[in-house]
Chain A
Amino acid sequence: MSLEDAFADGPAFIPYLAAGDPDYESSLEYVEALERGGADIIELGLPFSEPIAEGPTIQNAVVRSLQGGMTPTRFFEFVEDLDVSVPLVCMTYYNLIYRYGDEPGPRPFVEKAASVGIEGFVVPDLPAEESDPLREACDEFGLDLVFIVAPTTRGERLERIMEQVSGYVYVQARLGTTGAQSEVSDETGSSLGRLDGYDVPKAVGFGISSGEHAERIVRSGADGIIVGSALVDIVAEGHERGSDPKTVADRLETLARELKDGAVAGASQRPPHPERT
């Protein structure tokens, strides 16, 4: 299934977890729990040692995963070992993509990712200006390249990004780094408004942590929601308390279902969109 297809039957719920957090085996269970909870696409983080776009929650997840021995090679094994059927997106920083394999440049990484069944990439430190080599490799192997649009992205920059994006566009709900918030940003409506004219699914992320947030975001026009830190918090708490991985997986599944249900509820309350009717 392609990334865009995942949006066909209503709002897509896109959870994120760092692969290998806190260890390989538990992490496999956690990611699979997300699918049981209703995930339509899963963003899998391949940890990089300098995650400059992430807040403390995901930063700590990255540290745990790296300490657990996660590497790009292990990451691809992880994807192969996963028992999920929804599309997977690899979220990582450009240096890991650039350095992989015997030749410099992104091609070997993309080729390997395609061979294990990855459907696309999100690369937070790769703006559209620098993304041609990765875009070309993605085109060659039939993968999508998801770009992030920030509240500060306007005008020509927005157009440049929207020309390059495929799969879905990741709409950053507020400025700053990743991290769960108790209040979800009110900037979402205006961010989505700027993207109205573009024919690609819009998934909103940054700060969503509850079913109520999900409902509100989808009601304001999002085609999908992306949730990372709120889920990673569950993994972190389980790790700190030494909880049984099964219990942690159940908690993840429960929150995932709440988020998915919230998104679905939001869609049913949405006023008919002039361009979609």
Chain B
Amino acid sequence: MSVDGKFGNYGGQYVPEALMPAIEELEDAYERYVLNNEDGFMDEFRTRLREFGGRPTPLQRADRLSERYGREVYLKREDLVHGGAHKLNNALGQVLLAKYMGKDRIIAETGAGQHGTATAMACAHLDMPCEIYMGERDINRQRPNVFRMKLNGAEVNPVTVGRGTLKEAISETMRDWATNVEDTHYVIGSVVGPHPFPSMVRDFQSVISEEARTQAREKMGRLPDSVLACAGGGSNTMGAFAEFVDDEEVGLYAVEAGGSTLEVDEDAGVAPNSASLTTGSEGILHGARTTILQDHDGQIMESHSISSGLDYAGVGPELAYLVDIGRVTAVNVGDDDALTAFHRLSQLEGIIPALETAHAFGYLERVAGPDSTGEADDLGEFVVVNVSGRGDKDLESAIEETYERDIDIAPNMDEFTGGL
């Protein structure tokens, strides 16, 4: 694993000069506290993850999915982490690191609101002031999370430029950081951005695969044949994969948001998907060289996904690299199949997944479900799916999106007065 910030051709530090000293300071702190456990930083982080965060999360056998797909399906239950998503692992790590560094203000961006919520909770827990930037469009799509952030004492700053989604929120947070760099730490929410963020966020999230690896040996008596995780920026993906990367026999599948179509309209600057690993190309965005959705001139395209958390035009540089060298397989699932999987998991397993997570289950259905074409042979007998988060935050948009589509397994709400 890289500690110099380069993953093959990807990674690096492409940021305004004003931020470089802060990045160097962070690099130093990352090496001392995270990599070398100086002052017992990692010990404190682990303790807080356990006691505040509720770790370890279970690796649960999914009985009905196992039956449906004719193999052993296990769920890594990150939806059970405090706050309802894997995001807390990273937010808690970074806010704690900021404290060790002597910073006295936290800023963060959020798309679906899950990272903003996790950061706001970590800040409340560790007594740090917190401001969250969120696209206006996402604020409208994710009101419960906005409320949760504010409940935890964070300020939420709406971002109105562009399309008002995660991409714009990241740019805006970088601007704030450039202005207040001396006393402020920017908690990036995924394995993206300039070094050391991609490595550091991966390390904070790798607790997922560290636990899953041990739990797999206990429960299956072996390592899984494959691990599936949804991929937007790629933080739960890298977290679920990190400790398996050296186990060449374990297949790793990153499931991106295929949106409404994989066709990209370069002239309009619009990608109706967020599948940067599948439809993107190499470029530089938000501080790193990686795979991004861009037109032939290098302008960043507007992305789309039913899930705000996957709606981002880039992906972490390490994940892009692992796909390039063939260690990770990038696949994608569109809006319709993800939404159907959202309903299916809720009904079969009693787990309402985040719409992000539903993409991973959509892939499982496509390759191993009753209508599949046999691609599932690659997945093998023992499959782990990372349940990156729970779907409570998505209920409003799930209701809306469900009624725009004809999903035969969706609940019928017409019998209630006024419907929904």
**Nearest A-chain residue to B281, judged by Cβ:** A99
Residues on the B chain within 8 Å of A93, using CB: 284
Of the candidates B17, B180, B294, the one whose C-beta lies within 8 Å of that of A127 is: B17
Give Cα A49–Cα B298 distance, bound, in whole angstroms: 9
Residues on the A chain within 8 Å of B284, using CB: 93-95, 98, 125
Bits for B279-311, please: 1 = Cβ < 8 Å to A, else 0: 000111111000000101111100000000000
Residues on the A chain within 8 Å of B300, using CB: 49-50, 95
Residues on the A chain within 8 Å of B374, using CB: none
Of the candidates A49, A53, A104, the one whose C-beta lies within 8 Å of that of B299 is: A49
Asked whether any CB of chain A lies closer than 8 Å to the CB of B101, the reply is no
Give Cα A177–Cα B180 distance, bound, in whole angstroms: 10
**Nearest A-chain residue to B282, judged by Cβ:** A104
Give Cα A55–Cα B161 distance, bound, in whole angstroms: 12
Give Cα A150–Cα B181 distance, bound, in whole angstroms: 11
Give Cα A14–Cα B72 distance, bound, in whole angstroms: 67
Of the candidates A63, A154, A176, the one whose C-beta lies within 8 Å of that of B18 is: A176
Whether the pair B286, A50 counts as a contact (CB closer than 8 A) is yes
Whether the pair A172, B18 counts as a contact (CB closer than 8 A) is yes
Asked whether any CB of chain B lies closer than 8 Å to the CB of A116, the reply is no
Give Cα A147–Cα B286 distance, bound, in whole angstroms: 19
Whether the pair B17, A52 counts as a contact (CB closer than 8 A) is no
Give Cα A95–Cα B284 distance, bound, in whole angstroms: 5
Residues on the A chain within 8 Å of B18, using CB: 53, 148, 150-153, 172, 175-176
Binds A, one of B167-175, B196-204, B401-409: B167-175
User: Taking the nearest CB of chain A, how far is it from the CB of B211, in angstroms?
Assistant: 36
Asked whether any CB of chain A lies closer than 8 Å to the CB of B351, the reply is no
Asked whether any CB of chain B lies closer than 8 Å to the CB of A265, the reply is no
Tell me the dominant secondary structure on chain A's binding face: loop
Bits for A102-124, please: 1 = Cβ < 8 Å to B, else 0: 00100000000000000000001
Asked whether any CB of chain A lies closer than 8 Å to the CB of B391, the reply is no
Whether the pair B16, A124 counts as a contact (CB closer than 8 A) is yes
Of the candidates A63, A126, A149, A175, the one whose C-beta lies within 8 Å of that of B179 is: A175
Asked whether any CB of chain B lies closer than 8 Å to the CB of A194, the reply is no
Whether the pair A95, B178 counts as a contact (CB closer than 8 A) is no
Of the candidates B21, B174, B294, the one whose C-beta lies within 8 Å of that of A95 is: B294
Asked whether any CB of chain A lies closer than 8 Å to the CB of B22, the reply is yes
Of the candidates A52, A95, A96, A104, the one whose C-beta lies within 8 Å of that of B16 is: A52
Residues on the B chain within 8 Å of A51, using CB: 171
Residues on the B chain within 8 Å of A130, using CB: 12-14
**Nearest A-chain residue to B15, judged by Cβ:** A125
Asked whether any CB of chain B lies closer than 8 Å to the CB of A245, the reply is no
Interface residues of A in 70-117 (CB under 8 A from B): 71-73, 93-96, 98-100, 104
User: Given A52-B171, A176-B178, is A98 in contact with B298 using a C-beta cutoff of 8 Å?
Assistant: yes
Give Cα A126–Cα B20 distance, bound, in whole angstroms: 10
Give Cα A53–Cα B179 distance, bound, in whole angstroms: 10
Asked whether any CB of chain B lies closer than 8 Å to the CB of A256, the reply is no
Give Cα A48–Cα B162 distance, bound, in whole angstroms: 12
Interface residues of A in 199-248 (CB under 8 A from B): none
**Nearest A-chain residue to B292, judged by Cβ:** A95
Give Cα A151–Cα B300 distance, bound, in whole angstroms: 30
Whether the pair A152, B14 counts as a contact (CB closer than 8 A) is no
Give Cα A51–Cα B17 distance, bound, in whole angstroms: 14
User: Taking the nearest CB of chain B, how far is it from the CB of A109, in angstroms?
Assistant: 10
Asked whether any CB of chain A lies closer than 8 Å to the CB of B324, the reply is no
**Nearest B-chain residue to A156, judged by Cβ:** B24
Interface centre among A49, A98, A149 (most CB of B within 10 A): A49
Of the candidates B12, B182, B286, B299, the one whose C-beta lies within 8 Å of that of A152 is: B182
Of the candidates A48, A104, A172, the one whose C-beta lies within 8 Å of that of B17 is: A172
Bits for B1-45, please: 1 = Cβ < 8 Å to A, else 0: 000000000001111111011101000000000000000000000
Question: 3 tightest CB-CB pairs across the interface, nearest first?
Answer: A99-B298, A176-B179, A150-B18
15 A-B pairs (CB sep. < 8 Å): A48-B299, A49-B162, A66-B299, A94-B14, A95-B298, A99-B296, A130-B12, A130-B14, A149-B17, A151-B18, A153-B20, A157-B24, A172-B18, A175-B18, A176-B175
- A interface residue numbers (CB < 8 A to B): 48-55, 59, 63, 66, 71-73, 93-96, 98-100, 104, 124-127, 129-130, 147-154, 157, 161, 172, 175-177
Q: A125-B16, A175-B182 are in contact. List 10 more A-B contacts (CB 8 A).
A: A52-B15, A52-B174, A95-B298, A125-B14, A127-B20, A147-B17, A153-B17, A153-B18, A172-B17, A175-B18
